[in-house]
């Protein structure tokens, strides 16, 4: 059994959960400890006890540890990418890509640790100097989802440690293997005991205990809107700082002047790659009437060419859905779409392959309107809808008519539409002629409305969450 990491030691738990491969249910990846509420209390105490000395370490000391972790992650990217694909079901290329990204994130924040700045201003009063310092917050609770099992933990843990915080990390139930490897790498990279603690297990037990602990100063959460809402209320009651990244219902506008090859490849990548299980996936494809029929015809032709199979098969374009629950949810939404009167123009059927897994044909709905549940609720699977818009103005208003606001996209060759959409899109990230999913790690990531709450993640702006400002007045 792989154990939890508490106070620098791998410690047992009474219970464990085994983790299986969604491409091949007979392939069991391992047994992972289920932490108890007492384990969480021990992990939080260890992180609290480790904080004062970790916060005072030199930036170079922290930077070196992050750098060593980065080097190991990058050196093992093939092996870890394979584990990720086995565990989560994205293709091997996507798995290796995600691990590479995690390695680069640690390298980026190894650099950021050396760039922690303050400010000095002249006081409005004579004889006083004013300084603004940035200090670490304390113990950070990191609660993560299953769809990016190593990159999301990396983009929370790396800045937390770089700025001098200690961490209690709870990964999603479906993906403990990647989390365990990451904790092991960081532990061996030289983190003092208690600086990073791993507690695996159920959200309602382990997650809840972290969120409610009075010693945890701040929570960085990525996951569903429903869990995010619960955690937000708990954080408010307990006076914690919070950063929440939640769902999306991301629009992609295809203008009548778009380059059709670009538009189709952007739509297929954004809607279906990583099995559509990306918070930034394009789920509403809003197509101007002038190009609608040609676009749909080309989409269907290219969807028919995609190979859906075992994630580790190099010829696979799209791997399985992550779990039975998610698979059932996708199938339910396909039924809901049909009952709402949408036309299932392609796919949507369960597929049988050599191995038993959760294989689902990518589904494309046409003849939909923005009020349908399939266009309003996050499905989080390989399911997308086409919404016909009379013109560009109508397309923009449909794009913004959503409770979410994470990512948005437009395919156009018109400079004025690009510029106009860039300003009018009500999303935190706007993509022009490029998929709504797929972002850089050195710039802010996050959304608006129901998609996000609190400061942005990634890049230098991550410091706004992981540090606290202190204003000092000195009369010398």
For binding to ligand NAD (CB under 6 A), which residues are involved? 143-148, 170, 172-173, 203-204, 207-208, 211, 222-224, 227, 230-231, 245-248, 279, 378, 380, 406, 451
Which structure tokens are listed for 94? 């996507």
Q: Which among 245, 288, 361, 378 is annotated as catalytic?
A: 245
Q: Is 87 a catalytic residue?
A: no
Asked whether 90 and 25 are in contact (CB, 8 A), the reply is no
Q: How many residues are listed for the chain in this entry? A: 476
Nearest by Cα to 330 from 317, 343, 318, 348: 348
Q: Listing from the earlier edge strand, what are the strands of the sheet with 429-432?
A: 343-346, 363-368, 383-389, 282-288, 250-254, 407-411, 429-432
Nearer to ligand NAD (CB atom), residue 63 or residue 147: 147
Burial class (CB in 10 A: 0-12, 13-18, 19+), 355: middle
Nearest CA to 182 among 159, 206, 151, 160?
A: 151
Distance CA 243, CA 226 (A): 15
**Closest approach of Cβ 216 to ligand NAD, in Å?**
11
Q: Which of 178, 235, 279, 411 is catalytic?
A: 279
CA angle 405/408/412 to nearest 5° reads: 155
Quote the least distance from Cβ 155 to ligand NAD, whole Å: 9
Q: What angle do CA 145, 207, 239 make, to 5 degrees?
A: 110
SS3 state at 131: strand
Q: Phi and psi of 138, rounded to 5°?
A: 135, -135
Strand partners, 431: 409
| Other Cβ atoms closer than 10 A to 434 | 14
**Taken in order 254, 259, 263, 264, is the CA torsion positive or negative?**
positive
Side-chain-side CA neighbours of 468 within 13 Å: the count stands at 14
Residue 368 or 451 having the CB closest to ligand NAD:
451
Contacts of 157 (CB under 8 A, 6+ apart): 142, 167, 169, 182, 186, 196
CB count in 10 Å sphere of residue 257:
14
Asked about 279 being catalytic, the answer comes back as yes
Residue numbers annotated as active site? 245, 279
């Amino acid at each position: 059994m792989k154990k939890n990491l508490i106070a620098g030691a791998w410690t047992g738990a009474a219970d464990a959960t085994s983790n299986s491969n969604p491409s091949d249910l007979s392939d069991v990846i391992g047994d992972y400890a289920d932490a108890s509420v007492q384990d969480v209390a021990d992990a939080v105490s260890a992180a609290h006890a480790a904080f004062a000395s970790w916060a005072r370490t030199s930036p170079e000391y922290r930077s070196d540890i992050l750098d060593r972790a980065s080097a190991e992650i990058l050196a093992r990217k093939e092996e870890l990418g394979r584990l990720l694909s086995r565990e989560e079901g994205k293709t091997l290329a996507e798995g290796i890509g995600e691990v590479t990204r995690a390695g680069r994130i640690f390298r980026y924040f190894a650099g950021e640790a050396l760039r922690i700045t303050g400010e000095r201003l002249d006081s409005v009063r004579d004889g006083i100097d004013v300084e603004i310092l940035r200090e670490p917050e304390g113990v950070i609770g990191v609660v993560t989802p299953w769809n990016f099992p190593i990159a999301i933990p990396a983009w929370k843990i790396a800045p937390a440690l770089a700025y001098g915080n200690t961490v209690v990390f709870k990964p999603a139930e479906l993906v403990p293997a990647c989390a365990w490897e990451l904790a092991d790498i960081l532990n061996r990279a030289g983190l003092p005991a208690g600086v990073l603690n791993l507690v695996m297990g159920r959200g309602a037990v382990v997650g809840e205990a972290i969120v409610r602990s009075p010693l945890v100063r701040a929570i960085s959460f990525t996951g569903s809107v429903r869990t995010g809402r619960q955690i937000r209320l708990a954080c408010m009651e307990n006076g914690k700082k919070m950063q929440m990244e939640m769902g999306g219902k991301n629009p992609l506008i295809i203008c009548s002047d778009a380059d059709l090859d670009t538009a189709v490849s952007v739509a297929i990548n954004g809607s279906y790659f990583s099995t559509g299980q990306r918070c930034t996936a394009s789920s509403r494809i809003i197509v101007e009437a002038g190009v609608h029929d040609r676009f749909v015809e080309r989409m269907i032709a290219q969807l028919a060419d995609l190979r859906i199979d075992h994630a580790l098969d190099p010829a696979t374009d799209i791997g399985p859905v992550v779990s039975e629950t998610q698979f059932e949810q996708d199938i339910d939404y396909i039924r809901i779409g049909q009952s709402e009167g949408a036309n299932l123009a392609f796919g949507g059927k369960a597929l049988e392959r050599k191995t038993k897994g959760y294989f689902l044909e990518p589904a494309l709905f046409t003849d939909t309107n923005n009020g349908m549940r399939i266009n309003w609720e996050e499905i989080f699977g390989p399911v997308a809808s086409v919404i016909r818009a009379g013109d560009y103005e109508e397309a923009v208003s449909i794009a913004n008519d959503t409770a979410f606001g994470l990512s948005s996209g437009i395919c156009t060759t018109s400079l004025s539409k690009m510029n106009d959409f860039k300003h009018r899109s009500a999303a935190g990230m706007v993509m022009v002629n490029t998929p709504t999913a797929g972002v850089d790690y050195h710039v802010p990531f996050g959304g608006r409305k129901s998609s996000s709450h609190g400061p942005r993640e990634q890049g230098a702006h991550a410091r706004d969450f992981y540090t606290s400002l202190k204003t000092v007045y000195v009369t010398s």
